[in-house]
C-alpha cells in the first residue's frame, strides 16, 4: 500500500493525501540561490538523506508586496532566496501515465508564486491530470542584466528563464514517479509566464521536453540590451553605487535590494512597465523570439494562444 513516499533523483519526499489526491509541496528543483550563487545559473540540488516532508510550500521569490501579483488570502507570505521549488498534485503515484501540465505564473516578471491559492492543483488531479507549479527568480534576481554580471563562462541575463528550464528538467527526470507521463507534458503560462514560454520556444530548449504549449494573455516582451543595462545602472544607484558590481550585489542584504527595486518600479511608472525582463543575451536567446518563431521555432509543438478575460457584467444577447 502506498505510504506517500516517492523517490526522486535528489532524495525521497513524503506527500499529503486529501480528498482523492496527493500533494507534494516545496520540493527543491535547484539549489538555493544566495551569496555567490545569487546571480548564477541554477545549480543541482544537493541530495538529501532521510525523507523530505513535502507538506508546506517554500518561500516565494523576493518581490514587492504590492502591485501586480499582490497576495491573496491564503497565499504564502514568506520571501527568501531558497525559493527554487515546485509543487505536484496527482491522483496517484503509480504506473499509470497521466498527462502533465506545468504552469508558469505571471506577475510582470516582478511578483507572484506558483504556490498561490489560485494555482492549487487538486481539481486537475481528480480529473486525471498531474499538475506542477513552480517558483522562479523574479525582478532583479531573475532578470537584472549588465556586462558586469557576466562571467568568463557565460552571460547570464535570463536567470529566471534558466530556472524554468531547470524545473522542466526535474519534471523530465521525476514526474513518472508521481504517476505522470514525461512524454505528454503541456507547458502553460499566463502573462509573464506566457511571455516566458515564447522565449523558451525561441531558445529551442523545449524540443523533446514538452509536447504542447499554451500561452494566455502574453506573447513576447524583450528589453533592448542598452535599456536593460541602463536599468541595472539606475537600480544600483538606489543602493548608493555609481557602477554595477557583481561582488557588491552578491553580498548586499536582500532587504536593501528589494528596496532599490521598489525605487526603480516607482520611478519607472509601476510594476506593469516591467522594468526587469528577458533580453537577447546571445546564449539562451540568440535572436528576438519573434524572429525565431516566425522562422519555425514552434515546429513540432502543439501551440494554443489566447487571452484571459473577466466575464462581462452584462447579460449575453
Helix axes 225-237, 254-268, angle to 10 degrees: 120
Phi-psi region of 150 (alpha: psi -120 to 50; beta: other; left: phi over 0): beta
Q: What percent of the chain shows pLDDT beyond 90?
A: 79
**235-256 pLDDT per residue, tens:** 999 999 989 999 999 999 999 9
The three three-digit cell numbers of residue 90, written as one number: 496527482
Confidence of residue 267 (pLDDT cuts 50, 70, 90): confident
Looking at residue 67, what DSSP letter applies? S
Chain-centre distance for alpha carbon 193? 7
8 A C-beta contact, residue 250 and residue 295: no
Distance (Å, whole) CA 89 – CA 131:
5
Residue 231's closest CA among 190, 276, 194, 195?
A: 276
Cell numbers placing 273? 512597465
Q: State the pLDDT at residue 100.
A: 98
Query: Among residues 64, 116, 59, which one has the least CA distance to residue 82?
Result: 59
The enclosing H or E element of 262 equals: helix 254-268
Predicted structure pTM score: 0.94
Number of neighbours of residue 214 by Cβ within 10 angstroms: 19
Q: Which residue has the higher pLDDT, 5 or 306?
A: 5
Task: Give buried/exposed letters for 274-284 (b at 16+ CB in 10 A, else e).
Answer: bbbbbbbbeeb
φ, ψ for residue 57, nearest 5 deg: -70, 155
Asked whether 135 and 167 are in contact (CB, 8 A), the reply is no
Which pLDDT score is estimated for 74?
A: 80
> Is residue 274's pLDDT more than 70?
yes
Which domains are delineated in the chain? 5-306 (3.40.50.1820)
- Give pLDDT tens digits for 156-209: 789 999 999 999 999 999 999 999 999 999 999 999 999 999 999 999 999 999
What whole-number percentage of the chain has pLDDT above 70? 93
Average pLDDT over residues 278-285: 94
**What's the confidence (pLDDT) of residue 317?**
37
Q: What per-residue confidence (pLDDT) applies to 70?
A: 66
Beta strands in 73-217 (DSSP E): 85-90, 98-104, 130-134, 180-190, 212-216
Handedness of CA 104, 108, 110, 113 (dihedral sign): negative
Please give the Cα distance from 24 to 80 (Å, whole number).
20
Mean per-residue pLDDT of the chain = 91
* Predicted local confidence at residue 69, as pLDDT: 61
Is residue 310 pLDDT above 70, yes or no? no
Give how far Cα 292 sits from Cα of 13, 51, 96, 102, Å.
39, 43, 36, 23
**pLDDT score for 110:** 94
- Measuring CA to CA, which residue among 101, 156, 118, 110 is closest to residue 136? 110
Whether 270 has a pLDDT exceeding 80, the answer reads: no
Biggest CA-to-CA distance, the chain: 62
Over the stretch 13-67, which tens digit does the pLDDT of each residue have? 999 999 889 999 999 999 999 888 899 999 999 999 999 999 999 999 999 876 6
Partner residues linked to 73 by β-bridges: none
Residue 218 binned pLDDT confidence (cut-offs 50, 70, 90): confident
pLDDT surpasses 50 at 315: no
Amino acid at each position: 500500500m502506498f505510504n506517500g513516499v516517492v523517490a526522486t533523483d535528489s532524495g525521497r519526499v513524503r506527500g499529503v493525501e486529501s480528498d482523492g489526491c496527493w500533494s507534494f509541496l516545496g520540493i527543491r528543483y535547484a539549489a538555493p540561490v544566495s551569496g555567490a550563487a545569487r546571480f548564477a545559473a541554477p545549480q543541482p540540488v544537493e541530495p538529501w538523506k532521510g525523507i523530505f516532508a513535502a507538506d508546506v510550500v517554500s518561500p516565494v521569490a523576493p518581490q514587492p508586496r504590492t502591485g501586480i501579483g499582490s497576495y491573496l488570502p491564503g497565499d504564502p507570505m514568506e520571501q527568501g532566496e531558497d525559493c527554487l521549488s515546485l509543487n505536484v498534485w496527482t491522483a496517484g503515484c503509480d504506473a499509470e501515465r497521466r498527462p502533465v501540465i506545468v504552469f508558469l505564473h505571471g506577475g510582470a516578471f516582478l511578483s507572484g508564486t506558483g504556490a498561490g491559492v489560485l494555482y492549487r492543483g487538486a481539481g486537475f488531479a481528480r480529473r486525471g491530470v498531474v499538475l506542477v507549479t513552480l517558483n522562479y527568480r523574479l525582478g532583479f534576481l531573475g532578470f537584472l542584466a549588465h556586462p558586469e554580471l557576466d562571467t568568463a563562462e557565460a552571460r547570464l541575463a535570463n536567470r529566471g528563464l534558466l530556472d524554468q528550464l531547470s524545473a522542466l528538467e526535474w519534471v523530465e527526470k521525476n514526474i513518472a514517479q508521481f504517476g505522470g507521463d514525461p512524454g505528454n507534458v503541456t507547458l502553460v503560462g499566463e502573462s509573464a509566464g506566457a511571455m516566458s514560454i515564447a522565449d523558451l520556444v525561441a531558445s529551442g530548449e523545449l524540443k523533446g521536453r514538452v509536447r504542447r504549449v499554451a500561452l494566455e494573455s502574453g506573447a513576447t516582451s524583450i528589453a533592448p540590451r542598452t535599456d536593460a543595462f541602463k536599468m541595472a545602472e539606475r537600480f544600483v544607484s538606489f543602493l548608493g553605487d555609481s557602477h554595477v558590481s557583481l561582488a557588491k550585489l552578491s553580498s548586499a542584504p536582500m532587504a536593501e535590494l528589494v528596496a532599490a527595486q521598489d525605487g526603480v518600479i516607482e520611478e519607472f511608472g509601476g510594476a506593469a512597465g516591467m522594468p526587469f525582463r528577458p533580453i537577447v543575451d546571445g546564449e539562451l536567446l540568440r535572436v528576438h523570439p519573434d524572429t525565431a518563431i516566425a522562422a519555425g521555432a514552434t515546429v513540432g509543438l502543439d501551440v494554443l494562444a489566447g487571452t484571459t478575460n473577466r466575464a462581462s457584467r452584462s447579460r449575453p444577447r
